[in-house]
Structures are given as C-alpha cells and as structure tokens.
Structure 1
Amino acid sequence: MTDDTMIEIRAGVELPARREEVELRTDDGLRLVGELAQPADRAPVATLVTLHPLPTAGGFMDSHILRKAAARLPALADLAVLRFNTRGTSSPRGTSDGEFGHGVSERADVAAAMRFVAERGLPNPWLVGWSFGTELALKYGLEHGIAGAILLSPPLHRTSEEELARWRSATVPMVALIPEHDDYLKPAEAAQRFEGLPNLTRIDVEGGKHLWVGESQTRRVLDEIVRAVNPSALPLPTEWPAASLAPTQD
C-alpha cells in the first residue's frame, strides 16, 4: 500500500482524532461513562452532545450513527463529539450508574453532560438526539446554553405538548430529520406535531428508516448534522489517506 493510497470511509473506519474516556457526574450522585473525541491537531469549532436511543431497546453510546459521528466528524468537520451512556446503560466502554428513568431522571444526565462541556470549555454545543434521545433534547435542552438541537427520528412519545410549545419562543435553531418510513412518526404527522415552531427546519428524508441503516443513510444524516453545525466543511469527503489511520495518541 503506497503512502498516497485512499480508502473509502465506511463503517468500521475510524479517522484520526484525540479520543478520551470520560466520566460525567450527575447532581444525584451517579457516574456516567463516556468518550470525548476532538480534532487531532486543532481546536473544535463546535461540539455535538449526543443522546442515544432507548436503552431498553438496545440504544447506547455506540449506537451506529453516534459512533460513526465520533469516528468521522472530528476529522472531517472540526467537531468535538461527546458520547455517553445514560443512567443504567451499558456498552463496551462500561456501565453508567443508576437505572433507566423513562426520560424523567435522565434530566440530570443531560445536565451532567452540559456541565462537562462548560467545564472543558468546549465551544458551541449542539444537542444531537436520536429517537429516545430526541425526547431528552426536547424536554431539557432549553434549560442549558445550547447553540441548537438536531433530532434524528423523533418519536414524540414522551415529549408533552407543553414541552414542545416551549420551543415556539426559543431563539436557538432546531433541525428534525424525519424518515419517510419511520416506525413511530412519519412526515405527515411530524408536520402537524411540529407546526408553529418558527426556528425548526424539518427535513423529510425520502427512503429513510428509523434506524438509518446503511452507508447512504449514514452519510445523509452526517451531512445534515454538519450542514446545521459547520456548513463550511461540506461536502464531506468520502475517502481518506490510508497512511494517516494509525491510532492517535493523546
């Protein structure tokens, strides 16, 4: 393999970044395990605080879109990516303390993540929720100084109409990606539920499914995240020099 060999960026490819195992501490005394990935040789321009899908249905910090965001976007778009397991959730990184709180006690988990971001001086934090994670973003995001929110496959099961209505007066942007073939909230219903939110950009994704399976759907999601957070990084490369893929050391 020559030094100028390029490889296609697909599942399993982890681009260079500074990767750090972290722990978050909640106000109710729990330890949450996570990882922070930052650009390898420069400061990030913005931060993605990711909120994973439902842990009782297999969601965790390594759910594939979030894992691929952490694997690619520090290098491709100068973004920091914080992933963590909410209370009672396990992944190869470890198990967070506590037990699943049905989206209620997880309020403290979101607060712990945002406090970590502030303490580390990470810039321009955007919440990126997927499925259950969108409920946490909608319920609690406005309690913190976020730059915006991105909702992937929002089911709107646990978010009350009152909580959703708070976003009508919010000044921060919100982007909602609605899969055409979603299992819970399809585009027509999403248009009704999200009506009247002035800072919402709703993106109906033709052919999309709730789990965003496959490289084409992964790229579409990551493209839309970057379009919202750091559009100057578009278009995202689809290849990367193979010679630079040795693990980056802190």
Structure 2
Amino acid sequence: MTSTGVDGGAPHEAHRRDDTAVPAVRSEGGGLSGLLRPDRVLGRIAQDLAERFGSVFSPETVDRYVVESHAALARTSRVTTHLPALTARFAADRLHALARAEAVVPRDVPEVLFVCVQNAGRSQMAAGMLNRRAAGRVRVRSAGSAPEEAIHPSVVAAMAEVGVDLTTEFPKPLTDEVVRAADVVIAMGCGDACPVYPGKRYEHWPLEDPAEATVEEARRIRDVVDAHVRRLMTKLHLEP
C-alpha cells in the first residue's frame, strides 16, 4: 500500500534524501537514538516528527530541523521550562512549510506570512486577527527578524478583548522555508531581513510598534491591523 505525505498527498521519494548543509552529530551506530542532543527530550521530539513526516523527509532532515529549531529558540527565550514543547511546535511548522515550499504536499489554501522585527506585537496581532476572520480558509504564519523573548503583555490583553488568545503563541525567528512556502508576505518594519522570491505578493504595512504601548495604545494599533487584514482578505477573494 502506498503511503501518503503529511497532508495526504502522494510522497515524493526524492525528498527522502538527506540534503542537510549542517549534518547532525551521531554516535557510533547512528540512528535516531544515536544522535547526540542536549537531552533525550529532543530525541523523542525528533522520533515523533520522523514518524509524522516519514513519507516526506528523511530522519536526518527531521533531526536537523529539531536541533536547529531548539538552538534558535534557546537563543531568544529564557523560558526553558516550555522550550521542548515550543521546539516541537516550531520544528513541525518549519517542516510543514518546507513540504509546501518544495511542492511535496498540495496547496489547499493560500499561505500568508507576517514579518516584523520582534514577532512580539504587530505580526502576532495580524496573524491572530487573520486566523480569527479566515477561520481555516488561510494558513497563517508569523516570524521576526530579531525575535523577542515573549509577546508584549499589552498586545495579549488587547487581542483578548476581541476573542483572540495569544497566550499560547511565542516569538519565532524568520526562516527561509516559511518565506518560500508563503503566497503573500506582509512586512512590518523588518527592513531587508526578509528574502525576496519571485512569484510572491509582497506588501508593507506601516504600523506603529506596540513594544512600549499601553493597553489603550495597543488597542488602537489592533484596530488598524484589523482594517489591513480585512483589505487583505478582499484581495484574497475571501469574505472578512
């Protein structure tokens, strides 16, 4: 019986090769259990993701994404208690984006990427608002060119007022595969940090940075973001 890709599409055997630029360090004997990691938790994460993405990517590729994702988040986050769980989410999302970027799985809905500097305010607001309004009709990601440690409290509070819960979200560094997977890339003051690929729609939204904002100020920025989101949905031929 033929296995299917991560989104139910047919697997592409070519993507099972290990094309990593930074090879994982392995102990004698190799295999997932032989990969040298900071702790065994990362080994379990890699094993789980290797099973999930096994029809699409090689175990070596999954290993690399887990190790790199953990290292990237560890550089920006002081919350080590939840770091393994965040690593699993971040690595899974990156692998899913890679599968979309390399056309291993079908594109069933448009993909939108919001990019700002810290991924702690504007881009999180926009992603949360688009997720709420689109209700599954768009795949939404956000990232930062220099991510902060946590989302700004005033942003979390202002978004909660309109029914968007950001308490489980976290700032994420910008990576190449999420840009390649996106159909639309919305930049919010990230300068030249976002790579440009042909065939994608790029927009710049001039928004205030809510980093030091009060809840009242964040509420005003939120409403401006919402107006931009509704216009974007119209461009995507979606009802807000």
**TM range, smaller chain:** 0.3 to 0.5
The structure with the largest alpha-carbon Rg is: 2
TM-score after normalising by structure 1: 0.37
Question: Which of the pair has the greater relative contact order for Cα pairs under 8 Å at 6+ separation?
Answer: 1
TM-score after normalising by structure 2: 0.38
Richer in strand (by share): 1
Richer in helix (by share): 2
